[in-house]
Structure 1
């Protein structure tokens, strides 16, 4: 079995960033319930981050107790009259009051319930838009801002400030024409670029436009377990030299799930490591998903850092909305493909897998970790809208029933449905934990 967390230092690092990610997402989700409930006239008795023994608390001027509990793996808002954090049942003496969850108008209760997932989506939107505003977008034509290191056998004559016009005689239009330009480049250590430098056009040699260069690492992948790092250059696979990222893809596809020996260049030195590709769900051109062998090494763009220009607020907002919607669609598609058996259920991670991913993304940098929080927040918002009793989506189904029939489900029926929902979620959680620890090392 794969050594999930090989040292105490890694345990502490992983748990720290898991708690940070989870706390941020839960706090935003629960704050959505709280603030919309308050706006709707529903009083919150307790706003808690974590469960169990309270280690800090204070009451605000509205009479809500804000607290942090000892177990930082979730949180809740307890509204007035509720007997529990799930807003099921309550004190009959106060439950009918206008400022209680069950005594408030249907519109107020529905808005309060829906606000949690909506605030998760808003968090993701703000993060994605903020990253776009911070990073900007590459200027046209592509201009080199900074260059990484490469092995000595790869000629490197590009310089910061160069405006890259062509590669091997093909216009390098980024991003629209990038794939077409890369497809025409021969597999060799270095290629010819036409650049504009200090107002003059010239030909220089440089690395492949998409070299065997590690730009990102998929958490819990073979590359992650082997401690490959961003900036590593893959020199060969199974003794065959690789110059383009596409060379690696071909070799991995041929070997499938057989071990592969990699020679890796890092900071002027080379070392050898052995990885076994893992099946990962990959989006196909027709919109379906299929398991393909992958090392978990990402290289989807330029090897150099391009000069950028500011992205307008309107454009960043549009792209952020598209990103949130894309994550939702892909998550639902992936779930569908697992149900019908097109992809492996190992693609479903539990808390251990999410914790590992938190640590892995944090090790790749601040932006990677913040982006991960945004992706996870979208997933949490989507999951909570599933029509399962105990989740927000289940509560909204109860409200829909009330809107149609004019009456709430009976307290006994609610308790039975909640027990069924808890059993479903518990079963799913146990299955996901089994994936993390036993079935999908």
Structure 2
């Protein structure tokens, strides 16, 4: 276990959390805003935060740029929106195309979908650029998936794996690098996987039950993960150019996005505890701890949180971007928008679900942190 580091102060934790979440919210909403401008949709308001307005400025296009008292969120309100949730204004029902010009309800279907998707897309681009920047500045570890050592009580060694074996695939997924092993193992403790090996030119297939391992990080936080118990002999760092770095950033972001989806799916199916859902308290705690470790770990957390923010917003829940996309998909099938009453009920149900989930995960965080 690593030597424990003293937890950061409340002030440092709050500073780190706002430093992480504030810019990501602004970038997310700017994605919506610029997509709207490209599609000719007027923005009535751009808000960082909710609640009482602390500052505002109205630009030459009539957009009210505002900072509000409660900073954990934000929104862009387009012409034709009834409120900050982008719910269509009932007053526009039955309006002519001339009356709808420049409004979100009057935009073409593909434009509305693009505007909704642009916020999560902006967050994904942030993650890609961060990982690309790491790759460009620090290089990319390249480690052949050849077993060079075993951990104590290694699940892989117990199953018959030997030093010098090359891991070719895990459950049919090809392995090119040792780093490819992690996402196929870390989320699946106690699961038995089939591993294809190359042993001195011979192909072998062996079943391995992934071990369940609890370690503690530098601050004493418990983490459960799957572990094969194998490691490489050596790791080389390769220098790559800008295009290669962007490619690496895309792959790294995709892997982390997929892991987020798998983790949520496991919670839904009961394979993983709902206690693994993190709310604002644990996210703030993690941000303070990462900043204590240095800027690189903190920026890495920003990339990971940006991916999570994109993923959560793409869930098909009304009031979230994914909910809007789901309704636009229904509009494409029906060849006409859902009626205002149906949209009203969808937004109410979605808002209720989001609020209930927020209360649950944040209370769960506080219970796990202090009890």
Task: Provide TM-score, normalisation by structure 2.
Answer: 0.74
Following TM superposition, by how much is the alpha carbon of 1:282 offset from its aligned partner in structure 2, in angstroms? 5.4
Following TM superposition, by how much is the alpha carbon of 1:92 offset from its aligned partner in structure 2, in angstroms? 2.6
SS in structure 2 opposite 1:76? strand
Q: Which residue of 2 aligns with 1:176?
A: 144
2:193 to 286, 290, 300: 286
Q: Which residue of 2 aligns with 1:224?
A: none
Contact 2:149 2:230 in 1 (8 A): no
Q: Which residue of 2 aligns with 1:22?
A: 21
Following TM superposition, by how much is the alpha carbon of 1:249 offset from its aligned partner in structure 2, in angstroms? 8.8
2:349 equivalent to 1:420: yes
- CA offset digits 1:383-410 (Å, max 9, x no partner): 1111111111111111111112122112
- Which runs of 4 or more aligned residues in structure 1 lie more than 4 Å from their structure 2 counterparts after TM superposition? 93-96, 247-250, 280-285, 287-291, 297-302, 306-309
SS in structure 2 opposite 1:404? helix
Task: Pick the structure with greater CA Rg.
Answer: 1
Following TM superposition, by how much is the alpha carbon of 1:56 offset from its aligned partner in structure 2, in angstroms? 2.3
Following TM superposition, by how much is the alpha carbon of 1:93 offset from its aligned partner in structure 2, in angstroms? 6.1
Contact 1:33 1:115 in 2 (8 A): yes
Q: Which residue of 2 aligns with 1:60?
A: 59
| C-alpha spacing 1:310/1:430, structure 2 compared with 1 (3 Å) | same
Which is further off, 340-349 or 110-119? 340-349
Distance across 2 between alignment mates of 1:289 and 1:30:
41
Contact 2:147 2:231 in 1 (8 A): no
Which is further off, 390-399 or 427-436? 427-436
Contact 1:113 1:396 in 2 (8 A): yes
| C-alpha spacing 1:429/1:63, structure 2 compared with 1 (3 Å) | same
| C-alpha spacing 1:308/1:322, structure 2 compared with 1 (3 Å) | closer
Q: Which residue of 1 aligns with 2:226?
A: none
Following TM superposition, by how much is the alpha carbon of 1:114 offset from its aligned partner in structure 2, in angstroms? 1.0
SS in structure 1 opposite 2:52? strand
Q: Which residue of 1 aligns with 2:159?
A: none
| C-alpha spacing 1:90/1:339, structure 2 compared with 1 (3 Å) | closer
Q: Which residue of 1 aligns with 2:313?
A: 384
Distance across 2 between alignment mates of 1:70 and 1:289:
48
Contact 1:281 1:291 in 2 (8 A): no
Following TM superposition, by how much is the alpha carbon of 1:81 offset from its aligned partner in structure 2, in angstroms? 2.6
- For residues 18-417 of structure 1, the aligned pairs below 5 Å read 18-90=17-89, 92=91, 96-137=99-140, 175-176=143-144, 180-183=147-150, 246=151, 286=193, 292-296=213-217, 310-417=239-346
Contact 1:289 1:334 in 2 (8 A): no
SS in structure 1 opposite 2:253? helix
| C-alpha spacing 1:12/1:282, structure 2 compared with 1 (3 Å) | farther
| C-alpha spacing 1:137/1:327, structure 2 compared with 1 (3 Å) | closer
- CA offset digits 1:25-60 (Å, max 9, x no partner): 111111111001100010101111111222222222
Bigger helix share: 2
- CA offset digits 1:259-312 (Å, max 9, x no partner): xxxxxxxxxxxxxxxxxxxxx95566739988532223699999x9x9966321
Following TM superposition, by how much is the alpha carbon of 1:341 offset from its aligned partner in structure 2, in angstroms? 2.4
Contact 2:148 2:231 in 1 (8 A): no
Distance across 2 between alignment mates of 1:282 and 1:18:
30
Distance across 1 between alignment mates of 2:301 and 2:60:
35
Larger RCO (alpha carbons 8 Å, 6+ apart): 2
Distance across 2 between alignment mates of 1:289 and 1:348:
22
Contact 2:143 2:236 in 1 (8 A): no
Distance across 2 between alignment mates of 1:100 and 1:78:
10
Contact 2:148 2:230 in 1 (8 A): no
Long gaps (5+) in structure 2: 1-5, 156-185, 195-208, 224-228
Q: Which residue of 2 aligns with 1:162?
A: none
Contact 2:319 2:351 in 1 (8 A): yes
- CA offset digits 1:364-394 (Å, max 9, x no partner): 1111111111111111111111111111111
